[in-house]
Amino acid sequence: MPLATAAIPTPAGSLDLPLERGQSVLFLGANGGGKTRLGVHLDTHLAAHSHRISAQRALQFSPSVTIVDFETALDKLQYGASRNIYNQNQTALLLAQKQHHRYGGRPATYLLNDYEALLQALFGEETRASVQFRQVVKQGGTMDVPETCFDKLQEIWSALLPHRRLVVLDATVKVDLADGVGARYDATDLSDGERVMFYLIGQTLLLPQESVLIIDEPELHVHRALMTKLWDALESSRPDCAFVYITHDLEFAASRLAAKKFALHGYVAEPDPRWDVEPLPTDIAGIPEEIICRIVGSRQPILFVEGDSASEDMAVYRRVYPSHTVIPVGSCDAVIASVGAFRAHHSLHRVTCSGIVDADHRTQPEIARLQSMDVLVTPVAEIENLFLLPDVFSPLARTLGHESAEAAGLAAQLANRILEIADKDVDAFAMRYTKRRIDRSLKVIGLTSKNIADLRAEFASKMISIDPASIHADALARLTTSIASGNVVEVLEIYDNKGLLGQAAALLNMSRNGLQEHIGRMLRSNLGQEFQDAVRAKLPSLTASPAATATPLAVAAAA
């Protein structure tokens, strides 16, 4: 039987979500998507079963604490004041008290300031356990030394921050350096990250039995290296409770491997509050969960590209396609696989998707097949060649102060250098091209035989169709013809040589790294508009529009 069932109003009716012991649920949404109001709704709906930690929270750490009894301190932490002022069995009155005293009547925007209440509850529980133990011993009895919340807090803290040791005194907390070097200092001098970790650990340990913890922005102020470990430890410390995370952080969402995950696409308040919520798919083969989170959390069409987040590809594509969420996935094969997996998963069809890969020795039939899959191909062998095209290099040179005639002259010089280098590299290029074509053919060989005899025959037939000599001759002829005609655009379409960008840098009296950094700046700066337009003109046009992917609820909210 679940601890509680959360009912979330949606355009399609109520989403009833059972919250089980030891289970975590995560809602992932962009800013402005109604995340905070969802947390308030869940806290209100679950009433006495829940404890919500707002993203708006103060972190003042009192140097000393006024000790009060544990029940009073716990009431203050959970409800903002003692429950004795109301009938404890009346849920509506308890809820009203929480809204008024804990959240100042503004649960969505109020700055939660309960650090002192947290410390009072921790010390109250410590004092109660110590007094009970002392009384038993005084009366001649025996019992194990009780493990308090402070004991558990220190244990979790030490596992996460072994270089700091918490010291609990009679009414205050101090910190020692684990290596003993340096003076003991007050916990008030903790960093924001250390302070919020203390706060979150304490809040979790003090939860009443079988509660639901609702945490808004659980990643806030927590170092990424510790984020996963912290929440793993907290979930392990309270297997009797359920955890509800509400976040926009993709990395945190991906780190909650066992959580039930939902994408939060939007919220409208009138005529009645409704949230556009759907389950977040986690079973898409070939696409890492962090990327799935990015896809589902996006309000823009998706563009899969080669490289990583620091590659030149990203700088180019983000600038050229600003209306798309650009996601690097590594190799060209990963781009193709990601687009295919995306298109095959019906739950992702609210967002359109495409990909871009380098030409990379592809034949026209291959390019046509990729285009049918919404994978487009650049007009050059590799992305660096884009900046060497005369129509792109000239405006690039002008961003460095060269006049139009001088920039055109530099582009002509660069074209001649490229032709000379390619001419000396024709044989090596043809071998590279042939090997790449053979490798690609083997990957898509597509054997279908059902027995070994047929398989042998089919394999032999496929191998005969792959003719290295013919592939080599075609590559040799194609590059030689382009060089002979002086067609540098055709050369850059097929010729793969990453050293060419260094030649461009030398003509501009720059280092290769210096030119790459300048290109990045010009792609991001308004000063490089002409250069950006030249780059944009060379790349494929994407027709997907964000407006076409808007959900009904998002449209209603915009209206």
- Give the phi and the psi of residue 13 in degrees, each rounded to 5: 120, -170
Are 484 and 347 within one domain? no
Are 82 and 226 within one domain? yes
Percent of the chain with pLDDT over 70: 92
- Is the pLDDT at 555 greater than 60? The verdict is no
β-sheet bridge partners, residue 173: 168
Residue 308, SS3? coil
- Is the pLDDT at 273 greater than 70? The verdict is yes
- Is the pLDDT at 509 greater than 80? The verdict is yes
DSSP structural state of residue 24: E
Instruction: Using pLDDT thresholds of 50, 70 and 90, give the confidence band for residue 557.
Output: very low
Tens-place pLDDT, residues 148-192: 999 999 999 989 988 888 888 877 888 888 766 667 778 778 888
What span, in angstroms and rounded, lies between the C-alpha atoms of 243 and 21?
9
> CA 81, 84, 87, 88 torsion: positive or negative?
positive
What's the pLDDT at 286?
63
- Is the pLDDT at 8 greater than 90? The verdict is yes
- Is the pLDDT at 495 greater than 90? The verdict is yes
What span, in angstroms and rounded, lies between the C-alpha atoms of 495 and 497?
6
Alpha helices in 271-363 (DSSP H): 289-297, 312-320, 332-344
- Give the phi and the psi of residue 112 in degrees, each rounded to 5: -70, 120
Residue 119, SS3? helix
Domain assignment of residue 10, yes or no: no
pTM: 0.72
What's the pLDDT at 130?
87
Spatial contact of 197 and 230, defined as CB atoms under 8 Å apart: yes
The residue among 161, 184, 159, 187 whose CA lies nearest residue 173 is 187
What's the pLDDT at 399?
94
Helix (H) or strand (E) holding 197: helix 192-205
Tokens of 262: 């939902």
- Among residues 239, 262, 297, the one where a domain terminates is 239
Are 62 and 138 within one domain? yes
- Is the pLDDT at 256 greater than 90? The verdict is no
The listed range with the strongest mean pLDDT (6-10, 297-301, 546-550) is 6-10
Spatial contact of 28 and 279, defined as CB atoms under 8 Å apart: no
> CA 80, 86, 90, 93 torsion: positive or negative?
negative
> What mean pLDDT is predicted for residues 309-313?
73
Spatial contact of 385 and 333, defined as CB atoms under 8 Å apart: no
Are 295 and 342 within one domain? yes
What span, in angstroms and rounded, lies between the C-alpha atoms of 318 and 311?
11
> CA 491, 496, 498, 499 torsion: positive or negative?
negative
What's the pLDDT at 480?
95
Are 53 and 149 within one domain? yes
Maximum distance among all alpha carbons in the chain? 104
Higher-pLDDT residue of 515 and 547 is 515
What span, in angstroms and rounded, lies between the C-alpha atoms of 150 and 419?
73
Domain assignment of residue 5, yes or no: no
What's the pLDDT at 99?
80
Give residue 82's identity as a one-letter amino acid code.
S
Are 73 and 220 within one domain? yes
Spatial contact of 496 and 361, defined as CB atoms under 8 Å apart: yes
- Is the pLDDT at 558 greater than 60? The verdict is no
Are 327 and 468 within one domain? no
Higher-pLDDT residue of 239 and 81 is 239
Domain assignment of residue 276, yes or no: no
The residue among 207, 138, 122 whose CA lies nearest residue 170 is 122
Residue-range definition of the domain harbouring residue 545: 282-378+541-559
Spatial contact of 63 and 188, defined as CB atoms under 8 Å apart: yes
Total domains in the chain come to: 3
Residues in contact with 513: Cβ distance below 8 Å, sequence separation at least 6, in sequence order: none
DSSP-derived pairing of the beta strands 375-377 and 353-357: parallel
Alpha helices in 373-451 (DSSP H): 390-398, 404-424, 426-443
β-sheet bridge partners, residue 5: 18
Domain assignment of residue 526, yes or no: yes
Tokens of 416: 């001649």
DSSP-derived pairing of the beta strands 13-19 and 173-177: unpaired
What span, in angstroms and rounded, lies between the C-alpha atoms of 214 and 247?
11
What's the pLDDT at 391?
95
- Give the phi and the psi of residue 343 in degrees, each rounded to 5: -65, -30
Instruction: Using pLDDT thresholds of 50, 70 and 90, give the confidence band for residue 347.
Output: low
Helix (H) or strand (E) holding 71: helix 70-79
Helix (H) or strand (E) holding 28: strand 24-29
- Among residues 239, 269, 299, the one where a domain terminates is 239
Domain assignment of residue 266, yes or no: no
- Is the pLDDT at 549 greater than 60? The verdict is no
Are 234 and 293 within one domain? no
Instruction: Using pLDDT thresholds of 50, 70 and 90, give the confidence band for residue 21.
Output: very high
Domain assignment of residue 245, yes or no: no
Are 92 and 231 within one domain? yes
Are 436 and 506 within one domain? yes
What span, in angstroms and rounded, lies between the C-alpha atoms of 519 and 83?
64
Tens-place pLDDT, residues 194-222: 888 999 999 999 999 999 999 999 988 88
Domain assignment of residue 12, yes or no: no
Cis geometry, peptide bond prior to residue 271 (ω within 30 degrees of 0): yes
Domain assignment of residue 32, yes or no: no
Are 186 and 234 within one domain? yes
Are 530 and 434 within one domain? yes
What's the pLDDT at 314?
81
What's the pLDDT at 546?
37
Residue with tokens 């102020």, as numbered in its chain: 221
Instruction: Using pLDDT thresholds of 50, 70 and 90, give the confidence band for residue 550.
Output: very low
